[in-house]
């Protein structure tokens, strides 16, 4: 229960208790007052009637008549006359006991009408004592009316009092709410500096303290951000041509070389500049650097139509142009244009074209190949090109023999999607240092029949090829939320969603509709992983996803992180629980780069996780870099607790 509610509750109880007590005291006072009034009335009657009775000279018939006249004309319950020996001489008693008030009230309130007495004498002689008791009917009516009035007025006071109290508390505790918001923001690793400093000393100290702390953490993040940007520039950019370098290409390639990659293949050109030594002798180093810049410009111009192209300087004389979704013919055309344009550049620098020239090896790759295969085939193509007359050579990846054709896959996939015959499987992400499972990664198996089950790596590539991957992800989300697997309860699971599916129009709205109905009843903690390529755009769509996930307590993770962004502000905005990268990325980072990354992630409470860790050697290298959380085959070799 919040402090506001506790204070409001206590003060409300206090207020109601005070009001009830005051109401009770008021009512009791009114009760006493009414009873006093009853007595005074009775006493007045007793005094005046006793004087009248004195004139009757002890004649009982006369005195009875006088008593009757008085009794009948006023509101009396009882009038009696007793003689000096306490013997009753005459009495009148009201026979009607009907009260004009609700029964509960007459049961609740006990009104005692006091008896007032007066001596009665006849001349010097005593006659006796006259007793008069007023009728309580009037008193009950008056008290009931008073009670109603009191209840109404006190109810109004209570309501008004509670409203005023609530408003006062809101005003008084407003700074506390701001402090609370700030504290919650700190817990979510958001940096909020509270500008309005509260007047109340205790709140002011807390706000100033938290502002100070948040400022320091923010400064830490900013420093890390600047440092990492600087390191990235040194690490991924060739300082002469401003092209990417070999390391960048190596770190980036896993995004394209995977079973569920959207791009199924393309062209990788390896380009070598021969005769650099001669050029240096003829032109000098500065001029040769200008030559390299002009050649780099040719590469940029010729590939500007390709969105995902990676142009990298591999070493002093070699370049690579990685063009996904580029067909071999198109690649050859580009290569020829590059060669032709480069010859103009050589002429510009008055270089001998037979000494200084470009050779281009083109390799048509498949997304299922690994980096080593891609680079070695590309190098081979380049070696072949150097011996060709036109210095261009195209090599193609061997066509793998497909067990099933596309049509067969389509039929199987459509059938499984229709029957929703997917099953979640999971493996652990483990902290090798603490030996604890951090979370579990969800994957899919596809069951075709009793004997045939395909793993994610087996069916996702054909699914991409036949354009059914989005349908599979849609089914997977439906299955996860609508019929959650009871085996997954009380754990944390992550689900990786690809760039293309998240970017597709309709995905966000579909997720929103799904979450609004099912997300709050999800029996496990879910982390949805989005690719760094999408996260680093920090677009409106990404922000929408973040807000959507937050609303339903779904956390965000980032995968395929290689830290290529120009600004890491998106990490602060998205505040993912972790970022996942290839082991090669982490291992190849220099000390400054990694510590800058750590500065950012530590200030935001983000874990670093290495994926696809296959062996203990890699794990040891990662641990040397202070990366302890890993996923991949190596987790089977780590004995976890519990």
Partner 1 sequence: MNIFKLLLVLSVFFVNSLYAQKPYVEKELLNKITKKYKMFAKKRFVYLQEILDETKDGDDLQKLEAVNRFYNGVRYMSDRKVYGKSDYWATPWQFLGKDKGDCEDYVISKYFALIYLGVDSKKLFFTYVRSSKFKAAHMVLTYFKTPRSEPLILDSNNQKIFPASSRKDLTPIYNFNGESLYRASKSGTGKKIRSKKAHKKWDELKLNMKRKLI
Q: Whole-number minimum distance, CB 159 to partner 1, in Å?
A: 35
Q: E strands of 489-598, at which residues?
A: 492-496, 525-531, 555-559, 578-581
Our CB check for partner 1 shows the closer of 113 and 362 to be: 113
Our CB check for partner 1 shows the closer of 130 and 627 to be: 130
User: Which span sits near partner 1 by CB under 8 A: 11-19, 113-121, 362-370, 420-428?
Assistant: 113-121
What tokens does 250 get? 């190596």
| Distance of alpha carbon 385 from alpha carbon 393, whole angstroms | 5
Per-residue x/- marks for partner 1, 32-71, CB under 8 A? x--x---x---x------xx--x-----------------
Contact by Cβ (8 Å): 370, 283: no
Q: Whole-number minimum distance, CB 86 to partner 1, in Å?
A: 9
Q: Whole-number minimum distance, CB 134 to partner 1, in Å?
A: 9
Interacting positions 184-243 with partner 1 (CB under 8 A): none
Q: Whole-number minimum distance, CB 119 to partner 1, in Å?
A: 5
Element (H, E) at 88: strand 88-93
User: Which span sits near partner 1 by CB under 8 A: 122-130, 150-158, 186-194, 507-515?
Assistant: 122-130
Q: Whole-number minimum distance, CB 22 to partner 1, in Å?
A: 22
The residue written with tokens 């003829």 in the block is 282
Q: Whole-number minimum distance, CB 11 to partner 1, in Å?
A: 36
Q: Is 615 in the site for partner 1 (CB under 8 A)?
A: no
Q: Is 144 in the site for partner 1 (CB under 8 A)?
A: no
Among 4, 27, 78, 518, binds partner 1 (CB under 8 A): 78
Among 124, 286, 387, 547, binds partner 1 (CB under 8 A): 124
Q: Whole-number minimum distance, CB 121 to partner 1, in Å?
A: 4
Our CB check for partner 1 shows the closer of 131 and 584 to be: 131
HSE (side-chain half, CA atoms, 13 Å) at 526: 25
Q: Is 95 in the site for partner 1 (CB under 8 A)?
A: no
Contact by Cβ (8 Å): 310, 322: yes
Burial of 532 (0-12, 13-18, 19+ CB in 10 A): buried
Q: Is 112 in the site for partner 1 (CB under 8 A)?
A: yes
Our CB check for partner 1 shows the closer of 121 and 229 to be: 121
Going edge to edge, which strands form the sheet with 392-396? 244-245, 310-313, 318-324, 265-274, 357-366, 392-396
Element (H, E) at 394: strand 392-396
- Residue 299's contacts (CB-CB under 8 Å, 6 or more residues apart) are 243, 271, 311, 319, 321, 338
Q: Whole-number minimum distance, CB 163 to partner 1, in Å?
A: 40
Interacting positions 17-36 with partner 1 (CB under 8 A): 32, 35
Q: Is 131 in the site for partner 1 (CB under 8 A)?
A: yes
Q: Is 387 in the site for partner 1 (CB under 8 A)?
A: no
Our CB check for partner 1 shows the closer of 113 and 214 to be: 113
Q: Is 115 in the site for partner 1 (CB under 8 A)?
A: yes
| Distance of alpha carbon 593 from alpha carbon 596, whole angstroms | 5
DSSP string, 304-355: TT-TT-EEEE-SSSEEEEEEET--HHHHHHHHHHHHHHHHHHHHHTT--TTT
Q: Whole-number minimum distance, CB 56 to partner 1, in Å?
A: 14
Q: Is 114 in the site for partner 1 (CB under 8 A)?
A: yes
Q: Is 74 in the site for partner 1 (CB under 8 A)?
A: no
| Distance of alpha carbon 210 from alpha carbon 206, whole angstroms | 6
Q: Whole-number minimum distance, CB 122 to partner 1, in Å?
A: 9
Our CB check for partner 1 shows the closer of 119 and 443 to be: 119
Contact by Cβ (8 Å): 16, 158: yes
Our CB check for partner 1 shows the closer of 136 and 441 to be: 136
Q: Is 504 in the site for partner 1 (CB under 8 A)?
A: no
Q: Whole-number minimum distance, CB 125 to partner 1, in Å?
A: 7
Query: SS in 3 state form for 423-446?
Result: EEEEEEEEECCCCEEEEEEEEEEE
Name the phi and psi angles at 289, rounded to 5: -60, -40
| Distance of alpha carbon 141 from alpha carbon 186, whole angstroms | 64
Name the phi and psi angles at 100, rounded to 5: -90, 45
Element (H, E) at 219: helix 201-236
Our CB check for partner 1 shows the closer of 35 and 584 to be: 35
How many chain residues are in contact with partner 1, going by CB under 8 A?
Answer: 27
Among 81, 118, 310, 432, binds partner 1 (CB under 8 A): 118
Our CB check for partner 1 shows the closer of 42 and 596 to be: 42
Least Cα distance to 408 among 463, 469, 451 occurs for 463
Q: Whole-number minimum distance, CB 16 to partner 1, in Å?
A: 30
Among 116, 176, 497, 594, binds partner 1 (CB under 8 A): 116
Q: Are strands 310-313 and 392-396 parallel, antiparallel or unpaired?
A: unpaired
User: Which span sits near partner 1 by CB under 8 A: 129-137, 374-382, 443-451, 547-555?
Assistant: 129-137
Our CB check for partner 1 shows the closer of 128 and 498 to be: 128
What tokens does 437 get? 């499972």
**Across-strand partners of 631?**
429
Our CB check for partner 1 shows the closer of 51 and 159 to be: 51
Among 12, 121, 492, 504, binds partner 1 (CB under 8 A): 121
Contact by Cβ (8 Å): 232, 563: yes
Least Cα distance to 111 among 40, 55, 38 occurs for 38
Q: Is 125 in the site for partner 1 (CB under 8 A)?
A: yes
Q: Is 119 in the site for partner 1 (CB under 8 A)?
A: yes
Q: Is 117 in the site for partner 1 (CB under 8 A)?
A: yes
Query: SS in 3 state form for 254-302?
Result: HHCCCCCCCCCEEEEEEEEEECHHHHHHHHCHHHHHHHHHHHHHHHHHH
Query: Which residues of this chain interact with partner 1, rule CB under 8 A?
Result: 32, 35, 39, 43, 50-51, 54, 77-78, 84-85, 112-119, 121, 123-126, 129, 131, 133
């Amino acid at each position: 229960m919040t402090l506001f509610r506790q204070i409001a509750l206590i003060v409300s109880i206090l207020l109601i208790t005070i009001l009830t007590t005051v109401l009770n005291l008021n009512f009791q006072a009114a009760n006493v007052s009414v009873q006093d009034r009853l007595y005074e009335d009775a006493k007045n009657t007793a005094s005046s009637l006793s004087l009248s009775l004195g004139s009757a000279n002890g004649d009982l018939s006369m005195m009875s008549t006088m008593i009757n006249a008085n009794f009948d004309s006023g509101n009396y319950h009882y009038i009696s006359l007793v003689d000096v020996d306490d013997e009753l001489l005459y009495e009148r008693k009201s026979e009607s006991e009907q009260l004009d008030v609700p029964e509960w009230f007459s049961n609740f309130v006990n009104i005692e009408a006091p008896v007032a007495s007066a001596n009665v004498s006849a001349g010097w002689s005593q006659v006796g004592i006259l007793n008069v008791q007023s009728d309580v009917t009037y008193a009950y009516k008056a008290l009931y009316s008073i009670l109603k009035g009191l209840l109404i007025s006190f109810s109004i006071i209570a309501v008004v009092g509670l409203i005023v109290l609530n408003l006062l508390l809101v005003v008084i505790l407003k700074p506390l709410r701001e402090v609370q918001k700030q504290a919650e923001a700190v817990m979510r690793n958001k940096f909020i500096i509270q500008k309005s400093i509260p007047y109340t000393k205790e709140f002011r100290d807390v706000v100033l303290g938290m502002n100070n702390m948040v400022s320091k953490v923010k400064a830490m993040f900013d420093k890390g951000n600047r440092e990492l940007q600087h390191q990235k520039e040194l690490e991924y950019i060739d300082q002469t041509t401003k092209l990417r370098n070999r390391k960048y290409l190596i770190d980036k390639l896993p995004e394209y070389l995977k079973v569920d990659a959207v791009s199924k293949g393309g062209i990788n050109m390896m380009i070598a500049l021969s005769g650099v030594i001669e050029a240096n002798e003829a032109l000098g180093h500065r001029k040769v650097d200008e030559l390299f810049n002009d050649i780099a410009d040719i590469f940029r111009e010729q590939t500007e139509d390709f969105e995902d192209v990676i142009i990298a300087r591999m070493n002093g004389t070699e370049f690579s142009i990685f063009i996904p979704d580029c067909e071999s013919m198109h690649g050859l055309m580009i290569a020829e244009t590059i060669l032709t344009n480069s010859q103009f550049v050589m002429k510009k620098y008055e270089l001998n074209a037979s000494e200084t020239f470009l050779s281009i090896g083109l390799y048509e790759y498949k997304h299922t190949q690994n980096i080593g295969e891609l680079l070695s085939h590309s190098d081979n193509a380049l070696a072949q090109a150097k011996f060709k007359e036109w210095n261009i050579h195209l090599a193609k990846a061997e066509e793998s023999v497909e067990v099933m054709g596309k049509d067969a896959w389509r039929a199987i996939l459509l059938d499984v999607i229709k029957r929703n015959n997917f099953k979640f499987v999971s493996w652990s992400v483990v902290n090798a240092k603490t030996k604890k499972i951090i979370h579990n990664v969800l994957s899919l198996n596809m069951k075709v029949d009793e004997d045939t089950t395909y793993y994610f790596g087996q069916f996702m590539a054909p699914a991409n090829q036949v354009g059914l991957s989005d349908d599979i992800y849609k089914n997977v989300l439906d299955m996860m939320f609508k019929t959650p697997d009871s085996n997954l309860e009380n754990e944390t699971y992550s689900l990786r969603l690809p760039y293309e599916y998240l970017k597709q129009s309709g995905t966000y709205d579909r997720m929103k509709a799904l979450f609004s109905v099912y997300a709050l009843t999800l029996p496990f903690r879910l982390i949805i992983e989005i690719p760094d390529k999408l996260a680093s755009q920090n677009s409106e769509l990404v922000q929408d996803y973040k807000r959507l996930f937050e609303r339903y307590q779904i956390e965000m993770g980032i995968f395929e992180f290689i830290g290529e962004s120009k600004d890491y502000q998106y990490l602060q905005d998205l505040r993912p629980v972790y970022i996942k990268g290839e082991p090669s990325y982490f291992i190849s980072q220099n000390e400054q780069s990694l510590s800058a990354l750590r500065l950012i992630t530590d200030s935001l409470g983000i874990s670093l996780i290495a994926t696809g860790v296959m062996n203990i050697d890699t794990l040891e290298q990662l641990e040397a870099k202070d990366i302890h959380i890993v996923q991949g085959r190596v987790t089977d070799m780590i004995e976890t607790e519990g």
